């Protein structure tokens, strides 16, 4: 039984909105949690517990003057944040959040798009998203922007390799690139974090670097490069870059939960609830890391990515393949 097209469309609209609201409240969670870890309150003036702070930020960004440097190249300058944000949201469409239900004879899948090469699609979209950062920094025609975007993209491209290799073990164990299949197998066997612990650690570290989060956030650290590739952006265009970055973080945490912590599986069958709880846990760990670790210098970062993470990821994939074939 396949899903009717109109249910897919409704689900797509709902998921896009869920992701956008999730992004807004991720910024709230980050500021509150980071504040608490630093012995201060986060925002607590805009609404109870600061819960309306994302709306206040949105209104501020929309009302800001959307300046552009006069030498910025027109169409790429405007298109860059759009590409970055679009690919970030699109990558979320293959993440399974539930087992799929049949309601009144109609089938509702647990994913927005049941693609048989879902994992590959996410990496492909991530690579296209890097174009958003390259083009954004380059078309701003500013030294800080170009340097920042070159650093960002070199870092992202380097860690993408280790990221893709680290999930090879999961693909071998899950016998498929389809994310729903991988989650199903984790329900039958065990969460892949147990056989693939090294893979999980590599994926996690690669993910931190892939989303430019601390401790790998040198390209956009204010003390270093003003603001990297988004220096010359203001108002809602900058907001789109932030959105792209945070939604990349959400997608990567969702992928971590899906690939290693058995996605939506949990007792009493409340699939999506367990998925969101695990997602919340993964995001909190990212925020915890940001509060704790100092920043890596750029050459330390690149050296780590190529000389440490990539060999370990490769060895992990090879060992998994050997074990699966001979055992």
**Residue choice 17, 71, 292, 300 for contact with other proteins (CB under 8 A):** 292
The interface region with other proteins, picked from 160-168, 179-187, 270-278, 286-294 by CB under 8 A, is 286-294
Ramachandran assignment for 190, one of left (phi > 0), alpha (psi -120 to 50 degrees), beta (any other): beta
Applying CB under 8 A, does 38 fall inside the site for other proteins?
yes
Q: Which of 124, 189, 194, 293 binds other proteins (CB under 8 A)?
A: 293
Shortest distance (Å) from residue 156 CB to other proteins? 24
* Residues present in the chain in total: 327
Q: How far apart are the first and last CA of the chain?
A: 36
Residue 35 binds to other proteins (criterion: CB under 8 A): yes
Q: Does 297 bind other proteins (CB under 8 A)?
A: no
Among 55, 288, 307, 323, binds other proteins (CB under 8 A): 288
Considering the complex, state which of residue 39 and residue 103 has its C-beta at the smaller distance from other proteins.
39
DSSP H or E run through 224: helix 222-225
Residue 230: name the closest of 239, 238, 221, 219 by CA. Answer: 238
Q: Which is nearer to other proteins, 46 or 273 (CB)?
A: 46
On whether the CB atoms of residues 202 and 309 are closer than 8 A, the answer is: yes
Total binding residues toward other proteins, as defined by CB under 8 A: 12
36: contact with other proteins by CB under 8 A: yes
- Among positions 40, 74, 75, 105, the unique one binding other proteins when judged by CB under 8 A: 40
Locate the DSSP E strands across the chain. Answer: 101-103, 106-108
Nearest to 172 by CA among 320, 280, 296: 320
Segment contacting other proteins (CB under 8 A): 33-41, 76-84, 125-133, 248-256? 33-41
In 132-200, where do the E strands start and end? none
Site string for other proteins, 102-141 (x = CB under 8 A): ----------------------------------------
Output 100 or 215, the one with its CB closest to other proteins: 215
Can you tell me which of 10, 17, 41, 190 binds other proteins, judged by CB under 8 A? 41
Stretch that binds other proteins, among 1-9, 84-92, 132-140, 291-299 (CB under 8 A): 291-299
Q: Give the nearer residue to other proteins in terms of CB position, either 197 or 288.
A: 288
Q: Could you say whether residue 208 binds other proteins (CB under 8 A)? A: no
Task: Find the shortest distance in angstroms from Cβ 34 to other proteins.
Answer: 9
Nearer to other proteins, 32 or 151 (CB): 32
DSSP class of 228:
G
Which range of residues in 39-47, 118-126, 146-154, 155-163 is near other proteins by CB under 8 A? 39-47
User: At which residue do the structure tokens 């078309």 appear?
Assistant: 139
- Classify 91 as helix, strand or coil: helix
* Separation CA 159–CA 301 (nearest Å): 10
Contacts of 55 (CB under 8 A, 6+ apart): 24, 46
Pick 40 or 104: Cβ nearer other proteins: 40
Three-class DSSP category at 190? coil
Tokens representing residue 85 in the block = 């944000």
3 state SS of 103 = strand
Q: How far is CA 274 from CA 8, 109, 128, 180, 279, in A?
A: 22, 17, 30, 15, 8
Chain residues binding other proteins by CB under 8 A are: 33, 35-41, 288, 291-293
């Amino acid at each position: 039984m396949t899903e009717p097209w109109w249910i897919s469309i409704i689900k797509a609209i709902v998921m896009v909105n869920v992701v956008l609201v999730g992004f807004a409240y991720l910024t709230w969670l980050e500021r509150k949690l980071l504040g608490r870890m630093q012995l201060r309150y986060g925002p607590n003036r805009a609404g109870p517990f600061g819960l309306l702070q994302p709306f206040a930020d949105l209104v501020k960004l929309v009302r800001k003057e959307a300046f552009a440097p006069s030498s910025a190249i027109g169409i790429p300058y405007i298109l860059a944040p759009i590409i970055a944000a679009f690919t970030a949201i699109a990558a979320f469409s293959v993440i399974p959040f539930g087992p799929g239900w049949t309601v009144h004879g109609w089938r509702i899948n647990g994913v927005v798009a049941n693609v048989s090469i879902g994992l590959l699609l996410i990496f492909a979209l991530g690579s296209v998203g890097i174009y958003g950062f390259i083009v954004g920094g380059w078309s701003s025609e500013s030294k800080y922007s170009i340097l920042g975007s070159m650093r960002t993209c070199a870092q992202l491209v380097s860690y993408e390799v280790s990221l893709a290799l680290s999930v090879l073990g999961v693909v071998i164990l899950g016998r498929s690139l389809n994310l729903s299949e991988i989650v199903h197998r984790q329900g039958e066997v065990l969460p892949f974090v147990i056989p693939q612990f090294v893979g999980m650690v590599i994926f996690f570290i690669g993910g931190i670097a892939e989303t430019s989060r601390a401790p790998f956030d040198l390209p956009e650290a204010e003390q270093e490069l003003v603001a990297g590739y988004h220096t010359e952006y203001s108002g809602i265009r900058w907001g789109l870059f932030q959105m792209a970055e945070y939604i990349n973080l959400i997608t990567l945490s969702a992928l971590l939960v899906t690939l290693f912590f058995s996605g939506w599986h949990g007792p009493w069958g409340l699939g999506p609830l367990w998925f969101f709880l695990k997602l919340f846990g993964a995001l909190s760990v990212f925020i915890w890391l940001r509060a704790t670790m100092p920043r890596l210098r750029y050459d330390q970062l690149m050296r780590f990515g190529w000389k440490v993470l990539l060999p370990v990821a490769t060895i992990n994939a090879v060992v998994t393949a050997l074990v699966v074939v001979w055992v």
